[in-house]
Amino acid sequence: MRETQYYFFICHASEDKDSFVRPLAIDLSNRGYKVWYDEFSLKLGDSLTSGISEGIKSSLYGLVVLSKNFLNKNWAKKEFEAFLNKEVITSNNLILPVWLEVDLEDVYEFSPFLTDKVAIKAERGNINKVAEAIFTKVSIYITSVQDIKDTIEHLINCNDDRRQKYYLEVINRVNNIFHYQKEYYNWYTDDNLFKENDWDQALVDIKEKELQKDYNIPSGVWLLPEPFDWHEIDRAKKLLSKWVFRKLNYFECEELYFLLEEVLDTDVHYILYGFPHSTIRSKLVYEESIKGIRTIGLNPKKNKIIEPDSQELLSTLYKKYYAKE
């Protein structure tokens, strides 16, 4: 399945790169948002057409920078129309118009539809104001270090009732993810779903959205279109129980992370803390999240032995889970 990889896809005219678009893309990236912008996202030799197509499919929002340059380009309208089709399919407001030194008449001439959307009015040289307006408008959540620390603190100090409640939430997230993936896979691989040369992307997008709603999976969770070994999933659940109730040893801490990240290739952060993969935007937050496996899971009264060598643990885990292959 295609993951939502980017927060914003920037539709723009090349003439506006230096004075507006590139500085805006850099500002948004520095704020923690992953941006699809051709200079960031396309490498030498990449297909421009397929790259743009995948970028649109994999982005939450389309930032349409409407300038006099943009309004006079036919291909610009094609990018806009692609996002418009995505809006219709998903029933979400995905297009964020940025009026770069244009007026109502200019926009109406390009697309009457856009005149009905609340827009961000922009001028060259005032990038920070535009980025702040975008942030305020979409309110995309980014997990902070403090969010992770607060959850860790809660699990270290909470009472038994709260701990039991948290455990049920964790297991519910696991069940929802893997049942979703199994059902999606069975649907997607049905021989009768698509006939040769009869691919229907709209149908796929609708099904993804329908199943995510059915299984209560928020946007931004890392998902794969395939089922996994339920014995390994059950093993992960047992380790998660010991993690929540602070009964893991050193080896089990490494095994829990290895199972979730390597073997099951699932959303570790969402399962452990409820924060979707796509909201983890900095290395510091990622490291704090993974460190929390030991901080919470190890009972300090029962783990006073010398910490084992991590490479030896990893080698043991590879043998345990992959030797059968």
The boundaries of the domain holding residue 220 are 145-322
What is the Cα–Cα distance from 176 to 215, expressed in whole angstroms?
A: 5
- At 135-189, the pLDDT tens digits run 777 766 788 899 999 999 999 999 999 999 999 999 999 999 999 999 999 998 8
Q: Is residue 1 in some structural domain?
A: no
pLDDT for 118? 81
What's CA 26's distance to the chain center, in Å? 19
Indicate which residue of 3, 54, 79, 312 is catalytic: 79
Integer angstrom CA distances of residue 135 from 27, 65, 303? 11, 16, 45
79 is catalytic: yes
What is the Cα–Cα distance from 257 to 317, expressed in whole angstroms?
A: 11
pLDDT for 2? 41
What is the Cα–Cα distance from 95 to 98, expressed in whole angstroms?
A: 10
pTM score, two decimals? 0.64
Residues 129 and 159 in one domain: no
At 275, is the secondary structure helix, strand, or coil?
Answer: coil
Q: Which of 138, 153, 181 is the last residue of a domain?
A: 138
Residues 91 and 181 in one domain: no
Q: How many CB atoms lie within 10 A of CB 92?
A: 13
Question: The domain that contains 48 carries what CATH number?
Answer: 3.40.50.10140
Cβ–Cβ < 8 Å for 101, 124: yes
Residues 86 and 167 in one domain: no
- At 249-278, the pLDDT tens digits run 989 999 999 999 999 999 999 999 999 987
Residues 134 and 173 in one domain: no
Cβ–Cβ < 8 Å for 89, 67: no
Residue 107 in tokens: 């926009």
Residues 274 and 254 in one domain: yes
pLDDT for 234? 97
Q: What residues in the chain have per-residue pLDDT under 70?
A: 1-4, 41-48, 90-91, 139-140, 194-201, 300-308, 324-325
H or E segment to which residue 299 belongs: none
pLDDT for 83? 80
pLDDT for 176? 96
Bridge partner residues of 11 (DSSP): 64
Cβ–Cβ < 8 Å for 107, 115: yes
Residues 111 and 168 in one domain: no
Residue 292's Cβ-side half-sphere holds a number of Cα atoms within 13 Å equal to 27
Nearest CA to 181 among 119, 129, 247, 226? 226
